[in-house]
Amino acid sequence: MRRVVGNRHGTRHRDSVSLANTDDPASRSQNRGTGRNHHDASGLRAAADSWSYPDYADLRGANTGIALVGWTYGQSEVQKDSVRAMFVSTNYFQMIGVTLFREPGFSATAERKRDSAQPQVVEPAVILGYRYWQNHFASDPDIIGKTLTLDNIPHVVTGIAPAQFDGHVTGNGEVAVFLPLERHPRFRTAGTDRSKEWVLIHGRLMPGVTVGQVSAAISAVTSSLAKQYPLTNENKSGIAAPHDAFGNLVKSRVAAIQALGLTLTGMVLLVVCLNISGMVQVRSAMRERELSIRQAIGATRRQLIQYMLSEAIIMAGLGAILASLVLFNLLPIRSLLTDSPLPPQVQEALRMNLPTIGFSVGLCLLTSLVFGLLPAVRFSRPVQTMQASGGGA
């Protein structure tokens, strides 16, 4: 079964819905790995699951009593920088009732190009996020109509989103650019594949239509698709339900999971640091004679401490590099192998940036100093230590 939930500007509206995917429980085991049953960053079932693009197109063209738009998140490269993008249908802003700060926005040109028997060559359009326009284009008032290269393809700037608007779902981070849904990389590889589910669907009830009527209409469409495409659509269905602050709910869940994750990470870090501190002490005890010789030829206690601390810092640095490689590649590799996109919150959390790098470096230095200082101080007097243990002359 699939249900329909949604919001508008992150708030609850009786006429605002978005299609969500829930399959027949009896078939979930056989549907693993197909892109169904996505989870949000909290590990809980997302309130708005993905659909394949052909399914979305069929639902959009059917008489269900609801106006639909497709959307999803992604990344786009602008001037060698990767920015967060939201890929939406050309009627997205009009349907959710958002007035652009600068227009015209996505015009009907793109729709005519797609539906025309002899489509014209039209440069793809892009709408800039308000903060991105401010920070990267110095609030240029003449930006409309200019060309911006995204993913090595020229795009015409046709609008600027209103301030504080990052899509109709709140709590998912800043959106730098809005692009037509058909510009998404997965459209080129899975635009006709009903087994690849990557499109989220949002909609608005038409006047006089109830949620129950929409549920019945969607169920009829999905049942028809199941008969036409049994291999991919046999267990797909849908119902309609109003949405209640989906973005805020996910954000609170993610915050709780992040707090738990940080706590567990801190405990693991403490255990590892204690183990490494013990290893350094054992290794230093085995090197008492070497340290005695260094002291005998003129090395001061301060120099011995610096020498031993440098080893601890090098070990911590190597560990940080290895941990970073695992952290920033394990989940993307998992997503690639399962053909299931990472939730937007996870993608945002795994983005490499200067604050993240600075925090990692600072944490490595701090733990190295704290847990490497004790053995360094203890064994910086090797002559006295050896004499106390009977090993000195």
pLDDT at 41: 32
**CA separation for the pair 212, 242 (Å, rounded):** 11
Which residues 6+ apart lie within 8 Å of 337 measured at CB? none
pLDDT at 361: 75
Under a CB-based contact definition with an 8 Å cutoff, are residues 12 and 200 in contact?
A: no
153-160 vs 177-180, strand pairing mode: unpaired
Minimum mean pLDDT range among 56-60, 77-81, 161-165, 252-256: 252-256
Q: In this prediction, what percent of the chain has a pLDDT beyond 90? A: 16
**CA separation for the pair 144, 178 (Å, rounded):** 14
Minimum mean pLDDT range among 90-104, 107-121, 326-340: 107-121
pLDDT at 9: 43
pLDDT at 309 over 80: no
pLDDT at 117 over 50: no
**CA separation for the pair 337, 319 (Å, rounded):** 26
pLDDT at 254: 60
- Average pLDDT of the segment spanning 154-180: 88
Under a CB-based contact definition with an 8 Å cutoff, are residues 160 and 215 in contact?
A: no
DSSP state of 204: E
Q: Which residue has the tokens 């601390």?
A: 309
51-52 vs 3-5, strand pairing mode: unpaired
pTM beyond 0.85: the answer is no
The token pair at 261 is 């994750």
- Average pLDDT of the segment spanning 175-203: 88
Closest CA to 74 of 50, 57, 95: 50
**199-226 confidence digits (pLDDT tens):** 888 888 888 888 788 888 888 898 899 9
Q: Across the chain, what does the average pLDDT equal?
A: 73
**CA separation for the pair 133, 138 (Å, rounded):** 7
Q: How far is CA 243 from the centre of its chain?
A: 22
pLDDT at 123 over 50: yes
How does DSSP assign 138-198, residue by residue?
Answer: TT-TT-TT-EEEETTEEEEEEEEPPTT-S-SSTTS----EEEEGGGSHHHHHHTT-TT-EE
3-state class (DSSP) for residue 40: coil
